[in-house]
Structure 1
Amino acid sequence: MSAYFDALILGLVEGLTEFLPISSTAHLLLVGDMLGFQGPPGKTFEIVIQLGSILAICVVYWGKLWSVASSLNQPGSRAFVRNIVIAFLPAGIAGAFLYKYIRQLLDTPVVAAVALIVGGFIILLIEKMVHKPLVHTVEDISPRRALAIGACQVLAMVPGVSRAGATIMGSLLLGVDRRTATEFSFFLAIPTMIGASVYSIYKNWADLSFDNGALIAFGFVAAFLAALLVVRSLVVFVGRHGFAPFAWYRIVFGGTMLVLLLSR
């Protein structure tokens, strides 16, 4: 039962943090380390619960995604797909060439804790720098802006930086409004996380195991439900409060984890 409790906690952590600018990788790494969680080999558990989070986006934005897919002859739909593809390319290419080094970083909880703290201060700085936005829809993002946002996403390969945080903050600096920056981060997560999962499966194929399938399914459902809550509410929340609350959370959580890690 303790293994199922750990799977529930980690599934909830994944779903609650994947689309917030607070780094799901760092939270899974730090919380998993504190729990002493030993999931199925080959990172199967981590891969599957991430797909649970992606499913939440597909459910919430199904209408938008279907509308785009069924009207690719329209300029707006083509611009939407173009921007997602362009923004995905930097992380896709960098991930393919830097995978070995990224894996080494992923096993370093201290790196994740420090990145959380530093990233929190950067978010506070960016919030003060952002002025009147110039872009108000995903379709209106220019190819150059999309590529720059994608380059920001590459920074998220360091645990603790946060994929959502890097793309949203990069978007804000490039003149995209908060709502559009948040939604663009959601949509960009679909190819990015699916691509990362497929590549991870390929690299770990020999070690993959679905032993304890019920444990994996438990974590998947928990991640899906938690992510569903976040995706449905995040846009409204940041519209009212901005991203400063997440910055302070990063600083407090990262600082607490760093103290605990260094005191062991």
Structure 2
Amino acid sequence: MLDVIKVIILGIVEGITEWLPVSSTGHLILVGDLLQPNLSDAFMEMFNVVVQLGAIMAVVVLYFHKLNPFSPKKSQREKMMTWQIWIKVVIACLPAAVIGILFDDFIDRVFFKKGVVALMLIIYGILFILVEIRNQGHKPVATNISQLTPKMLLIIGVFQMLAMIPGTSRSGATIVGALMIGVSRAAAAEFTFFLAIPVMFGASLLKLVKYGFHFTAGEFGLLILGMVVAFAVSIFAIKFLMKYIKTHDFKVFGYYRIILGVIILLSMLASVIVG
């Protein structure tokens, strides 16, 4: 029963942090260390990625009409525009797909550490603040996804690739990259939602293959529970973010990241001194 409660907490953390630019994987690692569920390290490594499928399904549900090129309610032109969105998503996903397939094991081995999470939280927190300050008074070059050029897509894709390092935040990295090249906050956030669909489905499949699908009945139930909770919480998190950025910038997330990163580094330093 205790592990059920812990998985519910992890699902809530995933549902909130997957879409807010504060690093879901980083938070799952940190919260998981605090909760210490009675589950194997291999299962938790897989869980921290696959649970994101629940969050991704929230995007599919909320944006189903916009992302469905076969909708009978759409005109031929609207269907073509929908296909263009998917083409842009594929282009932007190419850098992360290539690097993910080639270096997934290396990234897991080298970067899944508290210190790395803390540093990435701080670095991208500073970037958020600096980019927002720079953009003050500047009109966005692209206010919707249809205006994203191939060059813009590849730049955003490179930033998404960098988010493979835990603590970076996939949504945070892609939003920072998009803001830096003149994309509006709303378009940047919406596009990063869409990018998550193929990226996280692919990452989850890769983790499941590596884990070998060797679940006990209990582990499978906990994984499904985490995904369901992440899905429900993500619905609210996505709606909150899209409403929030209509009247606010991303600097508050930058400050949060910096504070959390510093707290983690101080806790690590304290444990070394005490130890």
**TM-score, normalization by structure 1:** 0.93
Instruction: Tell me the residue number matched to 2:81.
Output: 76
Letter in 2 for 1:122: L
* Number of positions where the alignment pairs a residue of Structure 1 with one of Structure 2: 263
Deviates more, 1:37-46 or 1:212-221: 37-46
Change (3 A) 1:99 1:212: closer
Q: Tell me how far 1:47 sits from its aligned partner.
A: 3.8
Contact 1:44 1:208 in 2 (8 A): no
Deviates more, 1:208-217 or 1:74-83: 208-217
Instruction: Tell me the residue number matched to 1:175.
Output: 182
Q: Tell me how far 1:210 sits from its aligned partner.
A: 4.8
**TM-score, normalization by structure 2:** 0.89
Contact 2:66 2:82 in 1 (8 A): no
Change (3 A) 1:213 1:200: closer
Instruction: Tell me the residue number matched to 2:62.
Output: 60
Instruction: Tell me the residue number matched to 2:106.
Output: 101
Which residue among 127, 134, 138 is the counterpart of 2:132?
Answer: 127
* 4+ residue runs over 6 A deviation: none
Deviates more, 1:55-64 or 1:73-82: 73-82
Instruction: Tell me the residue number matched to 1:25.
Output: 25
Deviates more, 1:98-107 or 1:218-227: 98-107
Q: Tell me how far 1:59 sits from its aligned partner.
A: 1.1
Letter in 2 for 1:14: E
Which residue among 150, 153, 163 is the counterpart of 1:146?
Answer: 153
Letter in 1 for 2:244: F
Matched, 1:236 2:243: yes
Q: Secondary structure at the match of 1:198?
A: helix
CA RMSD after TM alignment = 1.9
Deviates more, 1:209-218 or 1:165-174: 209-218
Q: Secondary structure at the match of 1:211?
A: helix
Q: Secondary structure at the match of 2:218?
A: coil
- What is the CA–CA distance in structure 2 between the aligned matches of 1:263 and 1:69, rounded to whole Å? 57
- What is the CA–CA distance in structure 1 between the aligned matches of 2:101 and 2:50, rounded to whole Å? 20
Q: Tell me how far 1:206 sits from its aligned partner.
A: 6.4
Contact 1:44 1:209 in 2 (8 A): no
Q: Tell me how far 1:182 sits from its aligned partner.
A: 0.4
Q: Tell me how far 1:19 sits from its aligned partner.
A: 1.2
- What is the CA–CA distance in structure 2 between the aligned matches of 1:110 and 1:136, rounded to whole Å? 36
Change (3 A) 1:64 1:206: closer
